[in-house]
Every structure is written in C-alpha cells, then in structure tokens.
Structure 1
C-alpha cells in the first residue's frame, strides 16, 4: 500500500514493526478510504487527541460543573493532532501487506503563530509548549489537514455513527469531546445531557481505561504501569504511541480481570464517566 505518508516512529512488535504513520492533507483521502475498508475487520478504535491550551479540569462536587469546565476548554481550543489505532478482539493490528502493523496520526492545520487569530488567555506559553513538543508551525500551516474536510471524510467512512465500533481511550471526555466538535462542526452542547445524547450517537460503545481501572481496583496509573510493565504513562506524549498504550491497557485489563470476555468488559457510558471520575485516578 502506498499512501505517500511520512513515518514518525517504528515500534518493534516481535519480529514485525509498528508503523506510526503521519497523515497530512495530501494523503488524507487515501488513508480515510483505507480505514473504511478495514473497519469491518478491526472494530476496536483507540483514540487520543492533542489540543493546545486545554487546562486540566479541577474536579468539583457536581457533575454539571465538571462538564461546563470541559465544554469551555474544548470549545476554546483547536484539535491539532489525533491518533487512531484499529485492532480486532484479539488485539491484532492491520498490516501494510509486508508484515508491518499500521497506526495513524492525523496532523491538522493549526495556525501561523505570528498571525494568530485565536484569543487564548495564555497563548504565548501555549505556543512555546507546542514548539518544545516538536511542532513545526510552518509545516503544520502548509501541510496540515483542514478540520472541516477531515470531519466530512470521517463521517462518510463508516467509522463513526456505527454501533459495531468500540472506542478505547485514556481520556474519553477530552478525546471524544474534541472529536465530536470536529465531526459536527459545532461547539459542544450547553448541557451534559445533550452532550451525552449526541456522543452516544457518534460513539455508541466507549471503553475508558480509567473507568476500567476503577472497576478492576486499580487506583493509580502507577499500578497500571506495573501491570503493563511499561514506561510512565504520563510521559508518553505522541498520540500514536498513546493509542497503542490504550490498546495494550485495554487488552491486558480485559484478559486479567474479565477472563478475556468482551461481554463482561462492558463499555462505559459517558455519563457514568462523569459520575465516577469526580474523584479522579491518581498518577
């Protein structure tokens, strides 16, 4: 398969390699077409997003207050990178035809930092952080994907609005909130009830790793790290790598605590996520 992609990372997996494929505007249509072809065989989708200027939510005593904080952050930020990792019920990844496994990392056009039109309260430090994270603003501006175009193509791919798909995420509120904003072309709804109704339509089954951890009696990411025998979760910054981490955590939790039964590893409702994560998981 030729997608004209750049490969940002090659991760060993036994004798094979996992290709974290960077998707830009020039190869977007070809990649989305491929996702539409594989989605029937790989019905689990790990997702991770990066948006500048999202501030960590300070958890309050009410679910509605938490949602209003989330809504404000998502509505006042712009998605610039999204990772998607497709896998089947055994954890298998799609291959490129020559034995390498594929993971996708979408790069969106953000803005020219010298002529920014967004009025963020802490823009200067946000841009500095992005540069420190390796963001090339010139490349992003010239080659980045238009968010509206991406949303339209993904909507027609069969990946969203599909009750056969399970969405696996480390932070479902942020990841799916940002993605919902792109897919609908609108700000998040005013109320939590409206958000849940819309999100349930686009992402009918959601497996949030933090909720699964709580159901398994794991109270911190350090405990999950020991279970996975992996590096620190909060220092894994690339969205493609974090999607792979979410996939690995999901499969490990399913096999270790749910006897490998997908029927027992029930997808969590987003409303439950807000109710249960008022007292958040510790790092």
Structure 2
C-alpha cells in the first residue's frame, strides 16, 4: 500500500496554540519522541578564518564565530518533523502525515543585521518577510508552547544536519537569553539542560565512506528524494534531514553502538567534553557504493529510547478533539 502523502503544517500566531496542542498529542499519545529540526535565519555576517575551517583543533574559534552570528541575528523559521521509535510520522488517523513549520515574528530586513544574499534566497524560496513581521509567532510564546507540548524533556531525541546553528538558535529562543555561553563547553552544558540526545546527520555521514557535502548532495548519494516542498524551507528541510537520518540508520549499518558514538556531537564543534571518552568508530561503506567491507546489524531505534522502549504507546482517545483541530 502506498504511503500517505505528507503535509507541511504552517504555524503562525493565529493558529500556534491549536497546532501545538496537536504536537502535544503526537508526543504524549502517539509516542513521537524523535524530533528532527531545521532553521532558517538571516545568513552569517561573520566567518571563521580559512585555517579554522581546515583545522580539527580550532573548535573554540569556530564556536566564537557561531556565537557572534547567533547573538546578533534573529531566527526566521523553524521546521520540525516528529516520528516514533519505528520512524512513523504522525497522521492522527487522517489520510495525511504531518510535519510543522514555525514562522517567527522579530526579524525586520529593513533594520536588523543580515546577509543580503541569504534574505534574497529565502524570498525566492517563498518566505514572506512582511507576513512574518505582521503574523509571525513571538519568541516567548513559542518557548512556552514548546514546554507545554512536552518537547523540552530528557526523553526526546533531537536530529539536525550540520546542526550547530540550528541548536544555537533554538537554545537562544528557549532560554530567552540574548547571548550564548562564552565557550563551547558551556554551550554543550546548556544544550543538555534543554534537550535529550542530539544527533548531527553530517557528523554521522563522516563515518560512511563516500558521503560528503550538504544535505541535498548526501540525500542524492543515498537516493533519497525530497518528499515535499523545496530547499531552504524549514519544514521541507527538516523532513529531508529525517529521511536521510532514517536511511543512514537502516541501510548504512549504524548499530546502536555506533549511533551512541556520534550522539551529542555537533559537526565542527567536537569538544573533548562533548565526545567524552574516545570512541573508535570504524569507517563504513554505504550500500549505494560498489564495495562494502562488512554488514552490521541495522540500528534498532527503540533500544535508544531508554525508559520509553518498554512502554506501549497508548491509543489516542481524543478523536473528536483532533477532528476539530484538523
């Protein structure tokens, strides 16, 4: 049977409360403990030196540049894809599956710092900056809704692609702080206060022979097609990131051991404390290349869920409520 089509649900100020009620149902009643995120923001106005880009030891310099950008710039859009431990997206007993895209109020292209080419790209992809200013979600309102929906707890598993900026902007909004921590270890400490396990798909791809480049390039290598929308739209990109993550787990031989080895490590920000004890992660050969060295067991999502793995997911008992919202 064909899979249900996917719809990106757009969140604005006028429907934010109702949409996050649905999100809460997905988390608590449908067991969606995995959340894959993507953010859109006004580009970068500071860049690391060429040496810092090349050097594995220049973590602090790269973090300082990230911090300067995130401290001065404002989040425009957040996309997130929820799934359960078997990779199922919420459908709420309808004919569609759903992902979400939050549109924020706060960025003003006429007065706020930004990279002009990035704003032009977002406009070309359909981001309506004027609508964001008038109808977008307030940052404080968003933070409250995230808490109420049950997304901010240690039982969640967070996924991003090259996720340093994604998690930095989300931390800035959730903590209601104007400035990020001064160093990378402080950054990881604060991330752990708000989020559960974190996985960076680009960091995972480093373990797979032949996988490199941006999200679209890695997806193409894995023969993963974008299911809905287009690039640089946060909802669509969060879904593609989830598709690539799922493919890596199921077909590129990421065992639970290997997945644990890359958890809580963001690409380009490999703090010694973030990695902990050194782990030797063997180079893997993905199944789309001609030669494979070894076939390892497929990752079992459920075994990474801690206390949730042995619990049955309760059936949703709020059909009338969902019917009204949907």
Pair in the same fold by TM > 0.5:
yes
- Aligned partner of 1:133 in structure 2 is 125
CA deviations 1:43-100 (Å, max 9, x no partner) are 1100000011325854603111011011011111110100010011221100143220
- Aligned partner of 1:79 in structure 2 is 75
Unpaired runs of 5+ residues, structure 1, are 1-12, 277-283
In structure 2, C-alpha distance between the alignment counterparts of 1:64 and 1:15, rounded to whole Å: 44
22, 25, 34: which one aligns with 2:22: 34
155, 168, 172: which one aligns with 2:159: 168
Aligned length: 255
**Contact 2:11–2:100 (CA under 8 A) maintained in structure 1:** yes
165, 169, 174: which one aligns with 1:178: 169
CA deviations 1:27-53 (Å, max 9, x no partner) are 111111222222141111000000113
- Aligned partner of 2:235 in structure 1 is 240
21, 27, 45: which one aligns with 2:9: 21
**Contact 2:199–2:265 (CA under 8 A) maintained in structure 1:** no
Most deviating of 43-52 and 126-135 = 126-135
Partner of 1:90, secondary structure, is coil
Does 1:107 find its partner at 2:107? no
33, 38, 56: which one aligns with 1:48: 38
Q: After superposition, where does 1:248-267 map in structure 2 within 5 Å?
A: 248-258=243-253, 261-262=255-256, 264-266=258-260, 267=262
Does 1:206 find its partner at 2:198? yes
**Contact 1:228–1:249 (CA under 8 A) maintained in structure 2:** no
Most deviating of 147-156 and 180-189 = 147-156
- Aligned partner of 1:191 in structure 2 is 183
**Contact 1:211–1:268 (CA under 8 A) maintained in structure 2:** no
Largest Rg, 1 or 2: 2
Unpaired runs of 5+ residues, structure 2, are 272-326
> If the length of structure 1 is used for normalisation, what is the TM-score?
0.81
In structure 2, C-alpha distance between the alignment counterparts of 1:172 and 1:146, rounded to whole Å: 23
In structure 2, C-alpha distance between the alignment counterparts of 1:246 and 1:130, rounded to whole Å: 19
In structure 2, C-alpha distance between the alignment counterparts of 1:223 and 1:111, rounded to whole Å: 31
In structure 1, C-alpha distance between the alignment counterparts of 2:219 and 2:122, rounded to whole Å: 28
Evaluate the alpha carbon distance shift between residue 126 and residue 92 of structure 1 in structure 2; reply closer, same or farther with a 3 A threshold: closer
How far has the Cα of 1:19 moved from its partner?
0.6
In structure 2, C-alpha distance between the alignment counterparts of 1:208 and 1:169, rounded to whole Å: 5
Partner of 1:258, secondary structure, is coil
61, 67, 71: which one aligns with 1:65: 61
